[in-house]
Structure 1
Amino acid sequence: MNLLKRLFVSLLGLVLFTCGNPQRQNVSKAKVNIVSNNVNIDYTDTGSGDTTLLFVHGWAINKTYWADQVKHFGSRYRVITIDLPGYGQSDKNREEFNTRAFGADVKNVINQLKLKKVVLIGHSMAGDIILQGAIDAPENVIALVGVDNFKSAGVAPTGDTSKAKKEYAEAIAAMKKNFKKFAFEWFNQLLFFKTTSKAIRERILNDVAHTDSTVAIKSLAWDDFNEGDQLLKAKKMLYLINSDYQPTDTTGLSAKKIPFKLFKVHATGHFPMVEKPDEFNKQLDKVMADLKKR
């Protein structure tokens, strides 16, 4: 279970561990209509090059949160940002909004845009999504970049799982009863940091308030997606660009011999790409430099 879901249930006192060559930027290209599981996926497509950076947003937000990264990297790489089905400008006329369904969407984006050397970059809940996408499209994906996620990947679960599931169900019930109230408390208490600006807080909370609550709740459904096992299955280099407001426990990754590198963005909340975009971009530049050496 990823960090976002663990923070979600912690509101009820739960502690759960399951969890490029330079190119011109605006190269003219024909817009491909991407359809996945009968749902249209909205996206941006900037720049060109052998390597593609494919950005996937987190829970209750959208592709616009990558605007600073598009600007920074679009002159050197092909940069794709997508709205997951049910979010942003993508359609939502389907029933499945879980890790495996979203992972299939990532694979379909890769296939329909004919992408070959793809670095998948996923924020928050999208860490598991890009991992599933890499498993589904192994020949196309060259690396994974998690953004403030995989913070205890590979660490063995502790405590009573049945109790955890019960408390999780109670949290979902509370969200169904008053989505906005519960979500706002969650973000304000656990996802923002003291340095998170008022403007960014207001932007995020506005997007949360206007997200489709049915889709958002389905996206948080309990699953048994084991990040450690799935990372072993994917066999991809894992880069982590994590905020340090919550520590990252890498003991599970090391124990399972999963190749990884951790880069930290200091003193931000859960959204480093918008809270400190320049620092975030520097860390992602380091990721790309390391990839070139491999």
Structure 2
Amino acid sequence: MNPGTNKLNILQHTNMEKYAQSGDGQKIHYKESGEGKTALLFVHGWLGNAEWWNGQQEHFKDRYHIVQMSLAGHGKSDASRAEWSSERYADDIRAVAGQISSQEIILIGHSMSGAYVLEAASNMPNVKAVILIDTIKDLEEALTEEKAEQFLFVHYRNDFKNAVENILPQYLFTEKTPPDVKQKLQDEFLQNTSETAINLLRPLYKKDFREDASKIQVPVRAINSDNFPTNIENNRKYLKDYNYIEMAGTGHYPMLEKPEEFNKILDDILKELSDN
């Protein structure tokens, strides 16, 4: 392929809506845009979707190949999966990564997807780095399935709307979270039934991700909010090259709450990674 043709292919990533097929046949929706030899593959958290990264797509599209995907059960992706597991979620990520044309991919995972990008990256040779967004703050302090049932799922089953409006905000938002962001997210959460919400989240608590973390050979960086502390020593026991930057005054959704500050920090991390 001559350079001109390659350049044409890169320029054709203009807001294209596509689907990849995961290992169990689920159609996984993703959008491609931007240009650049390195792809930033953005993966949302629980009950999210590809659109959560629109503020990053706009900021980075001139320099990077941008891929925004929705995991199975989320957004425009299929939701008829027979078995919800971390392995299936990692399959979703690998399916999209395998279908895009970039030879160099940086996986960016928010919240529950931090675990799944680590699992996916452990056997993807074209992954250059992993960036975690407000997730995996302490690899030695994982919530078990039993505790998730006790502290989360029982509230979802009893009254999901009440859980979303009155219980979850204690953990997900701060006083500085913009009201419109909080309202938008809560509205999106409530488009799901309590059982769907539980099924989509349960895989996170059924596996010890320290083994996947130990397999990662590429740099892992994190952008964490200061709402809960990060234990860098515990994470470095498993991740060979780990560091994080903390954002003050945001809740669990820094890319939505303070997009300009978030984009600047992500810019700096990408520059550091490219200089190495």
Do these two structures clear the TM 0.5 threshold for a shared fold by scoring above it?
A: yes
Matched letter for residue 124 of structure 1:
S
Pick aligned residue for 1:288 from 259, 270, 275: 270
In the aligned structure 1, how far is the partner of 2:207 from the partner of 2:255? 26
In the aligned structure 1, how far is the partner of 2:175 from the partner of 2:164? 18
User: Counterpart of 2:159?
Assistant: 178
Contact 2:19 2:30 in 1 (8 A): no
In the aligned structure 1, how far is the partner of 2:77 from the partner of 2:89? 12
* Offset from partner CA, 1:104-161 (integer Å, 9 cap, x none): 1100111122432100001100100111110232x021110000011112x267xxx9
Secondary structure, aligned partner of 1:221: helix
The more displaced of 239-248 and 35-44 is 35-44
Q: How does 1:1-294 map to 2 (within 5 A)?
A: 27-29=11-13, 32-36=18-22, 37-137=24-124, 139-153=125-139, 155=140, 165-170=145-150, 171-221=152-202, 223-256=205-238, 258-294=240-276
Gaps of 5+ in 1: 1-22
The more displaced of 189-198 and 89-98 is 89-98
In the aligned structure 2, how far is the partner of 1:122 from the partner of 1:141? 13
In the aligned structure 2, how far is the partner of 1:62 from the partner of 1:44? 11
User: Counterpart of 2:3?
Assistant: none
Name the count of aligned residue pairs: 264
TM-score w.r.t. the length of structure 2 is 0.88
In 2 relative to 1, CA 119–65 (structure 1 residues): closer, same or farther, beyond 3 Å? same
In the aligned structure 2, how far is the partner of 1:257 from the partner of 1:48? 30
The more displaced of 72-81 and 261-270 is 261-270
With CA pairs under 8 Å and 6+ residues apart, which has the higher RCO, 1 or 2?
1
How far is the alpha carbon of 1:226 from its aligned partner? 2.7
In 2 relative to 1, CA 236–227 (structure 1 residues): closer, same or farther, beyond 3 Å? farther
How far is the alpha carbon of 1:217 from its aligned partner? 0.8
Contact 2:17 2:29 in 1 (8 A): no
Gaps of 5+ in 2: 1-6
In 2 relative to 1, CA 186–114 (structure 1 residues): closer, same or farther, beyond 3 Å? farther
* Offset from partner CA, 1:41-99 (integer Å, 9 cap, x none): 22110112210000000011211111110000000000000111111111112123332
User: Counterpart of 2:4?
Assistant: none
TM-score w.r.t. the length of structure 1 is 0.83
User: Identity across aligned pairs (percent)?
Assistant: 29
In the aligned structure 2, how far is the partner of 1:226 from the partner of 1:183? 27
Matched letter for residue 146 of structure 1:
L
Q: Say what the alpha-carbon RMSD is for the aligned residues.
A: 2.2
In the aligned structure 2, how far is the partner of 1:257 from the partner of 1:63? 27
In 2 relative to 1, CA 127–207 (structure 1 residues): closer, same or farther, beyond 3 Å? same
In the aligned structure 2, how far is the partner of 1:257 from the partner of 1:173? 33
User: Counterpart of 1:16?
Assistant: none
How far is the alpha carbon of 1:269 from its aligned partner? 0.5
The more displaced of 195-204 and 168-177 is 168-177
In the aligned structure 2, how far is the partner of 1:214 from the partner of 1:156? 26
In the aligned structure 2, how far is the partner of 1:184 from the partner of 1:31? 32
How far is the alpha carbon of 1:211 from its aligned partner? 2.7
Contact 1:58 1:124 in 2 (8 A): yes
In the aligned structure 1, how far is the partner of 2:217 from the partner of 2:265? 22
In 2 relative to 1, CA 165–228 (structure 1 residues): closer, same or farther, beyond 3 Å? closer
